[in-house]
Chains A and B, each alone.
Chain A
Amino acid sequence: MSKNKTEEALVTVQHLTRDFDVSPPWLNRVIEGKKKAILQAVSDVSFDVKKNSIYALVGESGSGKSTIGKIVVGLLSPTSGVVRVDGVDLAREADKTRLEQTRAGIQMIFQDPFASLNPRWKVKDIIEEPVTARGGDAHGLAEKLLEQVGLSAADVSKFPHEFSGGQRQRICIARALAAEPKLIVCDEPTSALDVSVQAQVLNLMSDLRERFGLTYLFISHDLTIVQHMADTIGVLYLGRLIEEAPRDELFGNPHHPYTQMLLEAAPKLDGFGREVEPPKGEIPDPINPPSGCAYHPRCPIAVERCKNERPGMEQKNKSRVACFLAE
């Protein structure tokens, strides 16, 4: 691969691990003899997000996709491992100004546009906050951004409750754009929206990417959206990255049995009367994950080795796969 400008990684995640302490209260541990409990939400995850690309993280609930998103924007700190954005390690960078500059270049769009806008603030204040909070001049910025996201400049003096769900998500996008970010982390940006509105928001996000050269880390459970939007896709299972591939490769030629199951189980628009063999079992308890490969209790092709040894990520053609048996 040629290391030209666009091939450079904007985000590098290396051996990222995040633990949460979910122990019962201290007193219960003493009286009832309960042990400490650690939930490993993200376990040894490594990937790169190239500049001006869309990297999607998919997985079912509890797979750690939102936790990774929060670590990348700096809302959570990693337990171990390194996240670099533009070469800066957000958790350890000592140079305050450099850290501040990098952080200003990362914005987030959340799932629920009804919960992520302050109901008591006017739209103008909401959109301009990322700039004014850093002491910048935001004169006329809100009006300009509102028009760029397809709303009217006259909306600046309205309150969030005067907008529909799709319009609110546009306001969230305008707010994210205000800081002139390089990277936007989108955590399920359209799952609270209806199909026809979802299309509007996804189109807007694609347009803005081309216009401003944005990079997206796109978190979703919806494979159809990911297939439409993403350049590269990472599939997570129980906090582990189990497959990563360019879009067409992942959907055309999935290697990991979990990815295959996920693609098979997703409802198809032309699947009239389709009888699928429903997948076995459910996602295991993340506090006591299975030994070896986390997917082995549900895996149709698991062998003895999968129980004892955790597979690492191996390059297979264009994909990286964590499976001993993947061809």
Chain B
Amino acid sequence: MNKQAGREPVLSVANLSVEIPTRQGTLTPVDKLSFDIEQGRILGVVGESGAGKSMTGNAVIGLLDPPAHIAGGEIRLKGRRIDNLAREALRKVRGKEIGMVFQDPLTSLNPLLPIGEQLTETILEHLPVGKTEAQNRAVAALEEVGIPAAAQRINSYPHEFSGGMRQRVVIALALCAEPSLVIADEPTTALDVSVQAQIIALLKRLCRERGTAIMLITHDMGVIAETADEVAVMYAGRLAEIGPVRDVLTAPIHPYTQGLMASTPLAAKGKKRLSQIPGAMPRLTDLPDGCAFNPRCPIAKDKCRRPPAPNLDSGGGNAACWYASGARS
């Protein structure tokens, strides 16, 4: 990827694999994933449900539900390995260095505590400040995310806010310890279009002003187009394609990305029928041999149906496909 000399990425993931041992054998929801996010950049991670997007996010922040575990690879945050940290050390990183925004703002806030208390608790835990200062910072954080009359609303409970306002509180919570990386997992999926536009504008502003790196997980191509700098397309736990957002969306080279882009109603402009990818993503329990996309792929050949599965190098560094049409430079 476009690694500029002298600039160390905030997050660097190399060959990350996540495994879940089950009675039917070991499943691999994330398979040898590699990507970097630089300071002040937004990486969009797209894919259909079950592609392993959220699993990747959870692995980075160390929140995998057992028995899922990291089976291989490295996760580095500003050069420091965080995938093998002990529980307690990881807890310090989480919240301080990495903030997290989940899809449903109601379930990511404690319904029994006023939002101010949840913010000050986080600030006191991670920053060397006193109680009054923490409270001031909490109000400032709420103001920054655009909550009107923040000083008065600091003692309100989560249920007293609307969905959009709650998501702002969650973002304030993720940012209050000034992390260098924010993982936003479908942050606007539960919100209306007009509120979604507000939250996207907020994320972009924070990323620009504070230089926070953001990993934006979503299934919405429109959101990715407007927000992300780079985009990683996942399919069945593997990276299908990665690159600058404009290239991947306007000139995709992996057949899956091509199919995905063509099947969005936005791309159908005037055409009567949408183009469609036949079939559905395979279950992890019966992944096909070779390339996971081969049963649905219009250009699959014998090589695709045999192991090994193609990786990014097979497609010229940007797409995991043996026959990626015209690799981008």
Contact = CB atoms under 8 A, between A and B. Distances in A.
A269 to B, nearest CB: 4
A196 B48 contact: yes
A195 B222 CA distance: 12
Name which of B201, B264, B274 has the most chain A CB atoms within 10 A of its CB.
B274
Contacts of A60: 192-194
Contacts of B280: 164, 166-167, 194, 196-197
Nearest to B274: A199
Interface size for chain A: under 10, 10 to 19, 20 to 34, or 35 or more residues? 35 or more
B129 interface: no
A229 B246 CA distance: 27
A320 B93 CA distance: 56
Contacts of B268: 228
Interface in B260-287: 260-261, 263-268, 272-278, 280-281
Contacts of B220: 267
Contacts of A278: 194, 197-198, 200-202
A165 B50 CA distance: 12
B223 A203 contact: no
A26 interface: no
Interface in A202-228: 202-203, 206, 221-225, 227-228
A82 B225 CA distance: 44
Interface stretch (A30-38, A124-132, A258-266): A258-266
A61 interface: yes
Contacts of B200: 267, 278
A268 interface: yes
A195 B260 contact: yes
Interface in B183-212: 192-198, 200-202, 204
Nearest to A264: B197
A94 interface: no
B160 interface: no
Contact of B197 (A166, A200, A279): A279
Interface string A234-272: 000000000000000000000000000110011111111
Given A195-B260, A199-B263, A223-B193, A269 B274 contact: no
Nearest to B224: A267
A282 B267 contact: no
B162 interface: yes
A198 interface: yes
A276 interface: yes
B237 interface: no
Given A202-B274, A224-B264, A266 B221 contact: no
B49 interface: yes
Contacts of B221: 195, 269
B259 interface: yes
A113 to B, nearest CB: 13
Contacts of B275: 199
Given A202-B274, A203-B273, A203-B274, A276 B197 contact: yes
Contact of B225 (A194, A265, A271, A283): A271
A182 to B, nearest CB: 22
A273 interface: yes
Interface size for chain B: under 10, 10 to 19, 20 to 34, or 35 or more residues? 35 or more
Interface in A52-79: 60-61
Contacts of B265: 199, 202, 222, 224-225, 227-229
Nearest to B245: A272
Interface in B235-249: 245-246, 249
B44 to A, nearest CB: 12
A220 to B, nearest CB: 10
A272 B225 contact: yes
Contacts of A271: 222, 225-226
Contacts of B193: 60, 221, 223, 262, 265-266
A61 to B, nearest CB: 6
A274 interface: yes
B328 interface: no
Contacts of A282: 162, 164-165, 194-195
B230 to A, nearest CB: 12
A273 B197 CA distance: 13
B219 interface: yes
Contacts of B276: 196, 199-200, 203
B250 interface: yes
Contacts of B245: 272
B321 to A, nearest CB: 17
A82 B154 CA distance: 47
B259 A196 contact: yes
Interface string B5-29: 0000000000000000000000000
A327 B212 CA distance: 44
Nearest to A261: B194
Contacts of A227: 265
A268 B192 contact: no
B194 A269 contact: no
Given A224-B265, A225-B265, A270-B250, A194 B219 contact: yes
B41 to A, nearest CB: 13
A202 B220 CA distance: 17
Nearest to B46: A195
A279 B192 CA distance: 12
Given A271-B222, A272-B225, A273-B226, A195 B263 contact: yes
Top 5 A-B pairs, shortest CB-CB distance: A267-B222, A199-B263, A194-B48, A60-B192, A265-B197
7 contacts: A227-B265, A228-B265, A266-B193, A268-B222, A268-B226, A270-B225, A279-B194
Given A199-B275, A262-B193, 7 more contacts: A60-B192, A224-B264, A266-B222, A270-B249, A272-B249, A279-B194, A282-B165
Interface of A: 60-61, 164-167, 194-200, 202-203, 206, 221-225, 227-229, 261-262, 265-276, 278-279, 282-283
Interface of B: 48-49, 162, 164-165, 192-198, 200-202, 204, 219-223, 225-226, 245-246, 249-250, 259-261, 263-268, 272-278, 280-281
